[in-house]
Amino acid sequence: MELTHDEIKAIERYLDSKNLTHVDLRVEVVDHISESIGEAMQSQKVDFDTAFQNEISKWHTDLGEYSSYWLGLLWVGPRIVINKCVKRVKVIYLKTVLFAFAITGLFFLATDVIAIEALRALEVFVGSLYLLLFAVLLFFKYRIKGTGFQTSFSFLFNINAIAFSFMFVLYNPFWTVFMSLLQDSALNLVSVWMHAFTLAFSFFFLEFYNSHMATNKQVLI
Amino acid sequence: MANSKLYKGSLSTIILKLLDEEGKMYGYEITQKVKAITKGDLKITEGALYPALHKLEAEGLLDVEVAKVDNRLRKYYKLTEQGEKETVNRLAELEEFIRSMQQLVKPKWSIQ
């Protein structure tokens, strides 16, 4: 049974109360709840309110407030959103951590053959790249904000952009001594790992941005 | 009712198989189709279905298409090229698993 405009609005209001504002998930939850209510109204001959209350009870856990260590406990949202984000960041962290160890290993093996001048030049490159990436983050943030809605991808973008903006600006090897690739004229492997991790993770901001924009195109039909 | 825990590990394979047969499906449709095929034995909950769909999408096995249906948007899932290949692999793995399980629970006795 097809629901009326007002009945769909009632579902939307319920999802607003649960802070499910992430369009990529909200679209399918609205559709799922609508279909299920329509089916119950037809097969069980119940009214909208009764079917709606029955349906709400099924979504109680998935739409309940939730947070995860993986994203930071301060970021609270519906469980369905947080779980989707956690699954994504787990894979991203695994890839970036492994990449960072691989790069650090290569630097460790090449310690004796890398000239100090080359490390200084690399440091200037990394410092400049950080500033460029910071500018790109601000541009992406501006474009995402311009779409006027939130997705699980923009949520991931925003929570990570805050942390990485600090990395790009405050931990820039240009002016932060302990992030320098050189320490007492020797290679600083901890710094190499940190820079490799930060740069590898930066690629995923592009993925979050592209996925958000793809959702924007999908829902503008 | 069958023990849903037994199906849990095969949920993504079930979804891939259904999409392979139907072309494209939306979330609620998948739950109803599974319920109908298993005559109500297996009811996929919302809490299990959507994480599984999102995982398959993140792995690049599913593609998403949004269409306007009635007075709301509907998200359809369909297999990508990689998803089609993965479906064949996962079904083969599942069949192998079923054969092994059959041998374990109903061994064929023979007198040599």
Interchain contact, B46 vs A58, CB within 8 Å: yes
Interchain contact, B72 vs A30, CB within 8 Å: yes
User: Is residue B31 domain-resident?
Assistant: yes
Q: Residue A221 — pLDDT band, cuts 50, 70, 90?
A: low
Average pLDDT value for residue range A182-188: 82
Q: What is the pLDDT of residue A134?
A: 95
Q: Name the residue among B32, B54, B75 with its Cβ closest to that of A31.
A: B75
DSSP annotation of A150 reads B
Interchain contact, B73 vs A30, CB within 8 Å: yes
Q: Residue B1 — pLDDT band, cuts 50, 70, 90?
A: very low
Q: Residue A21 — pLDDT band, cuts 50, 70, 90?
A: very high
- What are the pLDDT digits (tens) for A104-121? 999 999 888 888 888 889
CATH of the domain at B35: 1.10.10.10
The whole-angstrom distance between A152's CA and the closest CA on chain B is: 11
User: Is residue B107 domain-resident?
Assistant: no
Looking at A181-185, A199-203, B79-83, which range is the least confident one?
Answer: A181-185
Cα separations (Å) of B75 from A27, A157, B31, B88? 7, 23, 14, 24
Q: Are B33 and B43 in contact (CB under 8 A)?
A: no
User: Is residue B52 domain-resident?
Assistant: yes
DSSP annotation of A61 reads T
Looking at A122-131, A176-185, A186-195, which range is the least confident one?
Answer: A176-185
B37 has pLDDT over 50:
yes
- What are the pLDDT digits (tens) for A26-77? 999 999 999 999 999 999 999 999 999 999 999 999 999 999 999 999 999 9
User: Is residue B112 domain-resident?
Assistant: no
Q: Residue B108 — pLDDT band, cuts 50, 70, 90?
A: low
Phi and psi dihedrals of B55, rounded to 5? -65, -45
The whole-angstrom distance between B84's CA and the closest CA on chain A is: 22
Mean of pLDDT over chain A: 92
**Residue B58's domain spans which residues?**
5-95
Mutation target to probe the B interface, by most B beta carbons within 10 A, among A6, A15, A28, A37 is A28
Range from A136-145, A165-174, A177-186, B3-12 that averages highest in pLDDT: A136-145
CA distance A63 to A79: 6
The whole-angstrom distance between B45's CA and the closest CA on chain A is: 8
Rg (CA), chain B: 16
User: Is residue B26 domain-resident?
Assistant: yes
Q: What is the pLDDT of residue A152?
A: 95
Q: Are A120 and A212 in contact (CB under 8 A)?
A: no
| pTM exceeds cut of 0.80 | yes
Q: What is the pLDDT of residue A194?
A: 92
- What are the pLDDT digits (tens) for B49-96? 999 999 999 899 999 999 999 889 999 999 999 999 999 999 999 899
CA distance A167 to A172: 7
Interchain contact, B26 vs A25, CB within 8 Å: no
Question: What's the number of domains chain B is made of?
Answer: 1
Q: Name the residue among A8, A58, A84 with its Cβ closest to that of B54.
A: A84
User: Is residue B65 domain-resident?
Assistant: yes
Average pLDDT value for residue range A172-188: 81
User: Is residue B24 domain-resident?
Assistant: yes
Closest chain B residue to A89 measured between Cα atoms? B58
User: Is residue B37 domain-resident?
Assistant: yes
Q: Name the residue among A35, A80, A219 with its Cβ closest to that of B66.
A: A219
In chain A, residues with a C-beta closer than 8 Å to the C-beta of B66 are: 27, 218-219, 221
